[in-house]
Chains A and B, each alone.
Chain A
Amino acid sequence: MPQNEYIERWTKQHGKRLDHDERTRKRIARSSHKASESARSFTGLRAKLYAKKRHAEKIQMKKQIKAHEERNVKSSSAPAEPSSTPLPSYLLDRNQTTNNAKALSSQIKNKRAEKAAKFSVPLPKVKGISEEEMFKVVKTGKKTAKKGWKRMITKPTFVGPSFTRRPVKYERFIRPMGLRYKKAHVTHPELRVTVQLPIISVKKNPQNPLYTQLGVLTKGTIIEVNVSELGIVTAGGKVVWGRWAQVTNNCEMDGCVNAVLLV
């Protein structure tokens, strides 16, 4: 028997008090009086906590009442439509798991029609990052220290799948394994849908063309992401798989890449 179930055990052994039900009824009947008494008399922090608790309870109560009322109404009006967009009868009973992605594709198409949207990005300006902040000079070993041109990148990077390191002797830039990212959380700006998608490449780092080459992911970087899972198609009926997105967070602070899709 668990330690804390002594009351249940006692009830099992000896039964309930003869006036148990009466006492419960009275306690429930009295509870509203008690609640109002406490509400009036409490002061300070206790009052604050009590008011907060009571507020939450009341919201819950109101919701419940509303639900009951809705259930009781016999509506003669048209039945609620099962989805916000019209669907043919053969799709009505199917749960639309891919709906978001599809909505995404049509939104993108609509937006692209507006020409002005082509060159605007969500983050037009970013703070500059100095080379000292970006690179750490590697001074390990006798020869390396002497040469003094070996750099370690201190920011997260994207490294393509086909990358192989150069011989250590010639390697100028080290991109640490721990700071490499393959996936980004990409948000569609209008729909507020976020999907985790694989990164294909880094298209442009606003800081420096060298960083673009190195695949450095800083705030404001334009990346190409693989959207083939979303099932987006072009007007000609081909599957779209690469689409651009802009990084919106400081990846080195957060430990993840968040991006917003460019539409």
Chain B
Amino acid sequence: MATVLPPPSKRQKTAIAEKAHDQQSIDAIPSDLGSVRVHFYDQSTGRPSGAPVAIPVADATVKNLELLLNTLQGNDASERVPYRFTFGADGQAVDIVDDIYRALLKPGLRTTEDTISLHYTPQAIFRVRAVSRCSASIPGHGEAILATSFASSSSSRLVTGSGDNNARIFDTDTGTPFHTLKGHTSWVLVASWSPDDTAIATGSMDNTVRLWDPQSGQPLGQPLRGHTKWITSLAWEPYHLRQSSTFQRLASSSKDSTVRIWDSVSQRIDLVLSGHKSSVSCVRWGGTGTIYTASHDKTIKLWDSTEGTLISTLTAHAHWVNHLALSTDFVLRTAYHDHTGAIPSTDNEKMAKAKQRFETAATINNILTERLVTASDDCTIYLWSPPPAPSSNTATIKPVARLLGHQKQVNHVTFSPSGTLIASSSFDNHIKLWNAATGAFLHTLRGHVAAVYMSCFSPDSRLLVSGSKDTTLKVWDTATGKLKEDLPGHRDEVFAVDWSPDGRGVGSGGKDKQVRVWRH
């Protein structure tokens, strides 16, 4: 038997207690530091809000700063907005996590003599809770699941595309299959809901795009034929750009190096955007009427969606461009559905709300700017900020920043719904978070032991979920860059993951043929 140590003597105990007390008190904010002058700036416009304010250092916590700023802004007590404060100096951004003393004064970035300029960004006033358990694992598909997407209005409908040539709609509330969308003759590679949830588009290996009615599960018309190789990505026309509320268009990119724009009502090809020299890997339809395409020919092209003309070609990448994301992706996907769940009654109001939501998300310094981020096989990411379309200097667009750090090909990039963060997932097993305004590096999220295929922000931008080849999903806290939840459960690689736009659940699918729904 092992020897039992004698209990510590009284002298030892007091010494330990004293030491613990000393160590703890070092961490507290000293009360004799006086006050510090703080100047608040709006992150989106870059303008100061009012004159500098003197705040006692001991009280300069994020909570108190929020309270002060809300009062300065004249917000009602009932609708206080949470803010995130960043201190930007010489190219690097410091996030104020707890209080000014620990973030700025203690590391010596600023002293109490200086005026501290803090940039504030409003955070989502709702909070999404991290998913922590698998609420349903739904069998049904006969082959690997290649794409998942939640409906834009609610988390109760999920569409998945699979290698068994079917797409399925699931009812996630009950965890049961709702409809089987049969018709494709090969793998269903992409599935996408229209912004108003009236149609689902699926793109397949059999070179066709099909449209489906989500309520009945019946096909809407004939398959859209025209591509000569498989479909790689789909993008719906933003809701506020539609000519009328029922007339919607859809862009599909294909391996055959073209992008086709379909009129979903008459089922005809509206435009063909040809110009890329190799497979088009990703297409996005911007809220200003620009279509963005990324291709394996190393370029990104901007197109006019009404004329089908090329606006500009962005060349900076040295290898395939794998994926691209817009800062407004989330609002374009959800259109007029917001966190309150209130849906406008008439079409005009819906259109107006969608437009207003888009403009709030896209406005930086009072200019309507859609930022663009592209991920490539050359292990880099570029951040672009193309000027609005009818401007003269679209011919030569320079990237805002080149985001370096990944060790292997970057497969997927995504903007946070708030437009302040970029998450990039790479084959080097890491996810990296970047500041979306400057492209500054923030965090590396380490934890996966195999390639990360995809990641998705929660609607309040505070959390990120990632799916990986190592069969797990992981939920990360974006403010600290720490692992929040580890979600094992899949038996094989996770190919597709999506966080529902209302934040209530995460849907994932992969090689183990089961759709899993994760909830808090």
Residues on A facing B (Cβ under 8 Å):
78-79, 81, 85-93, 102, 106, 109, 231, 233, 235-239
Check if A90 sits within 8 Å of B143, measured CB to CB.
no
Q: Is B493 part of the contact surface with A, judged by Cβ < 8 Å?
A: yes
Cα distance A232–B232 in the bound complex, in angstroms: 29
Closest Cβ–Cβ distance, residue B118 to chain A (whole Å): 39
Asked if A238 contacts B205 (CB within 8 A), the reply is no
Would A81 and B186 count as touching, CB distance under 8 A? Answer: yes
Q: B486 an interface residue at 8 Å Cβ cutoff?
A: yes
Q: In whole angstroms, what is the CA distance A249 to B152 when docked?
A: 60
| CB-CB nearest in chain A for B493 | A102
Q: What are 21 sample pairs from A and B whose C-beta atoms fall under 8 A apart?
A: A78-B207, A79-B186, A79-B205, A79-B229, A79-B230, A85-B511, A86-B187, A87-B144, A88-B189, A88-B453, A89-B190, A89-B230, A89-B233, A90-B281, A90-B322, A90-B323, A92-B230, A102-B469, A106-B491, A231-B450, A239-B470
Known interface pairs A88-B146, A106-B492; A237-B471 also in contact (CB < 8 Å): yes
Most buried by B among A79, A81, A86: A86
* Interface size of B in residues (CB-CB distance below 8 Å): 47
Asked if B472 lies at the interface with its beta carbon under 8 angstroms from chain A, I say yes
Indicate whether A235 sits within 8 Å of B471 (C-beta atoms), given known contacts A89-B146, A92-B230.
yes
Kindly state whether residue B449 has any CB partner on chain A within 8 Å. Answer: yes
Contact B491 A109, beta carbon cutoff 8 Å: yes
Per-residue CB proximity of B135-147 to A under 8 Å, as 1/0? 0000000011011
A88 and B449 CA atoms in complex are apart in Å by 20
When A86-B144, A102-B493, A109-B491 are in contact, do A233 and B450 touch as well, CB less than 8 Å? yes
Q: Kindly state the separation between the CA atoms of A237 and B296 in the bound complex, as whole angstroms.
A: 32
Query: A102 CA to B281 CA in the complex, in Å?
Result: 25
Smallest CB-CB separation from A239: which chain B residue? Answer: B449
Asked whether, in the complex, the Cβ of A93 is within 8 Å of the Cβ of B146, the reply is: no
A interface footprint on B469-505 (CB within 8 Å = 1, 0 otherwise): 1111000000000000010110111011000000000
CB proximity to A under 8 Å, residues B390-438: 411-412
Task: List 5 tightest A-B contacts by C-beta distance, closest first.
Answer: A86-B163, A237-B472, A88-B146, A236-B488, A86-B144
List, in ascending order, chain A residues with CB within 8 A of B489's CB. Answer: 235
Tell me if B279 counts as interface (CB < 8 A to partner A).
yes
Give the one of A81, A89, A102, A231 with max B CB within 10 A: A89
**Residue of B whose beta carbon sits closest to that of A236:** B488
Q: CB < 8 Å: which of B229, B448, B472 contacts A236?
A: B472
A96 to chain B: closest CB distance in Å?
Answer: 12
With known contacts A78-B205, A78-B206, A81-B187, A90–B453 Cβ distance under 8 A: yes
Q: Are A237 and B449 in contact (CB under 8 A)?
A: yes
B189's closest neighbor in chain A, by CB? A89
Q: How far is the CA of A78 from the CA of B229 in the complex (A)?
A: 9
In the complex, the chain B residue whose C-beta lies closest to that of A233 is B470
- How far does the alpha carbon of A242 sit from the alpha carbon of B450 in the complex, in Å? 17
Q: Which residue of B lies closest to A105 (CB)?
A: B492
Q: Is the CB of A93 within 8 A of B472?
A: no
Known: A88-B146, A88-B495, A235-B471. A78 touches B488 (CB 8 A): no
Query: Taking the nearest CB of chain A, how far is it from the CB of B492, in angstroms?
Result: 5
Q: 16 other contacts beyond A89-B281, A91-B453, A236-B488, with CB at 8 A cut-off?
A: A78-B205, A81-B186, A89-B190, A89-B230, A90-B281, A90-B411, A93-B255, A109-B492, A231-B469, A233-B449, A233-B450, A235-B471, A235-B488, A237-B468, A238-B449, A239-B470
Q: Which residues of A contact B144 (CB under 8 A)?
A: 85-87
Q: Known interface pairs A88-B147, A89-B232. Does A78 touch B412 (Cβ–Cβ under 8 Å)?
A: no
**Contact among B162, B233, B255 with A86 in the assembled complex (CB-CB below 8 Å):** B162
A78 to B230, CA, bound (A): 10
Q: Flag if A233 contacts B229 (CB, 8 Å).
A: no
CA distance A120 to B495 in the complex (A): 34
Rounded to whole angstroms, the CA-CA distance of A107 and B492 in the bound complex is 10
Task: Give the residues in chain A near B320, CB-CB below 8 Å.
Answer: 93
Chain A residues near B315 (CB-CB < 8 A): none
Contacts of B143 in A (CB 8 A): 85-86
User: Which B residues are CB-close (under 8 A) to A237?
Assistant: 448-449, 468, 470-472, 486, 488
Taking the nearest CB of chain A, how far is it from the CB of B401, in angstroms? 24
A78 to B488, CA, bound (A): 36
Is there a chain A Cβ closer than 8 Å to B49's Cβ?
no
Is B218 interfacial (CB-CB < 8 Å)? no
The smallest C-beta distance from B6 to any residue of chain A, in angstroms, reads 37
The answer on a CB contact under 8 Å between B491 and A235 is yes
CA distance A93 to B231 in the complex (A): 13
In whole Å, how far is A45's beta carbon from the nearest beta carbon of chain B?
54
Distance, CA A91 to CA B411, complexed state (A): 9
Rounded to whole angstroms, the CA-CA distance of A87 and B448 in the bound complex is 20
B271 to chain A, nearest CB (A): 22
A68 CB → nearest B CB, Å? 23
Closest B residue to A90 using CB positions: B411
Interface residues of B in 364-387 (CB under 8 A from A): none
A78: B residues at CB distance < 8 A? 185-186, 205-207
Closest residue on chain A to residue B188 by CB atoms = A86
B471 x A233 contact (CB < 8 A): yes
Contacts of A87 in B (CB 8 A): 144, 146, 163, 187, 495
Chain A neighbourhood of B495, CB < 8 A: 87-88
**How far, in whole Å, are A85 and B185 apart by their CA atoms in the complex?**
15
User: CA separation between A238 and B474, bound complex, in Å?
Assistant: 13
Question: How far is A88 from B454 in the complex, measured between Cα atoms in Å?
Answer: 11
A79 / chain B contacts, CB cutoff of 8 Å: 186, 205-207, 229-230
